């Protein structure tokens, strides 16, 4: 196990530390609201078989309370969409944020319906309400959410008191949770 620190977060690599992964994680954490970063204890980067039975699994997990990412999610061939911002990492942070704040459960009936309208990929290992929130969170933080999804996520308990989302892909900033 090898360790480094990114924005004060311990990042552990099962194998050698990858400079590509370190830069990618740094670029991704940069756009995560500070309040949400404080609940991320550490990040682990592990071989795919430590996450799933499929050796080509290029995703992550967060069942232990912090993001665990497959080495393959830093492979541009497997996950071109994870550059410059790692959508897999944002997704796993979304699960942790949802769990910490009870974010999906805090939503109005209308906003829950908006998130349930998101299609969950068949390949996703997690299904259900938490998965909707994690996908929506990733979309909002990466700048790819629809206006309706963005409004719903920003109305969740996780964004109370969060004044600014650093978003390098758009000029939008969060005007506080409604
Ligand atoms: Zn998920």
SS (H, E, C) 127-171: CCHHHHHHHHHHHHHHCCCCHHHHHHHHCCHHHCCCCCCCCCCCC
Answer yes or no: is 171 within a domain: no
Å from CA of 15 to ligand 1 middle: 24
Domain, as residue range, for 150: 2-159
What's the number of domains the chain is made of? Answer: 1
> Could you report the per-residue pLDDT of 82-96, keeping only the tens digit for each?
999 999 999 999 999
Taking the centre of ligand 1 as the mean of its atom positions, its distance from the CA of residue 133, in whole angstroms, is 9
Q: How many angstroms does the Cα of residue 100 sit away from the middle of ligand 1?
A: 15
> Would residue 176 count as lying in a domain?
no
Q: How confident is the model at residue 174 (pLDDT cuts 50, 70, 90)?
A: very low
150 falls within a domain: yes
pLDDT tens across 34-56, in order? 999 999 999 999 999 999 899 99
Task: Let me know if residue 129 belongs to a domain.
Answer: yes
- The verdict on residue 155 lying in a domain is yes
Q: Is residue 177 part of a domain?
A: no
3-class DSSP assignment, residue 47: coil
CA of 63 to the centre of ligand 1 (A): 10
Q: How far is the CA of 124 from the centre of ligand 1 (A)?
A: 6
Evaluate whether residue 169 is within a structural domain.
no
Residue 59 Cα to ligand 1 middle (Å): 9
Contact 75, 83 (CB under 8 A): no
Q: Is residue 133 part of a domain?
A: yes
pTM of the model: 0.90
Enumerate the β-bridge partners of residue 46: 70
């Amino acid at each position: 196990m090898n360790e480094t620190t990114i924005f004060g977060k311990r990042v552990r690599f099962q194998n050698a530390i990858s400079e590509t992964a370190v830069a990618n994680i740094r670029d991704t954490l940069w756009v995560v609201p500070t309040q949400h970063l404080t609940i991320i204890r550490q990040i682990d980067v592990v071989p795919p078989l430590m996450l799933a039975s499929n050796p080509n699994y290029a995703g992550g997990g967060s069942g232990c309370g912090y993001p665990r990412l497959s080495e393959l999610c830093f492979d541009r061939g497997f996950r071109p969409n994870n550059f410059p911002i790692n959508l897999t990492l944002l997704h796993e942070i979304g699960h942790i944020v949802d769990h910490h704040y009870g974010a999906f459960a805090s939503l109005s009936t209308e906003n829950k319906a908006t998130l349930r309208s998101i299609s969950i990929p068949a390949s996703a290992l997690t299904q259900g309400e938490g998965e909707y929130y994690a996908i929506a969170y990733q979309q909002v933080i990466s700048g790819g959410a629809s206006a309706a999804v963005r409004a719903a996520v920003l109305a969740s308990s996780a964004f109370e008191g969060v004044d600014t989302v650093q978003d390098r892909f758009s000029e939008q900033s969060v005007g506080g949770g409604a």
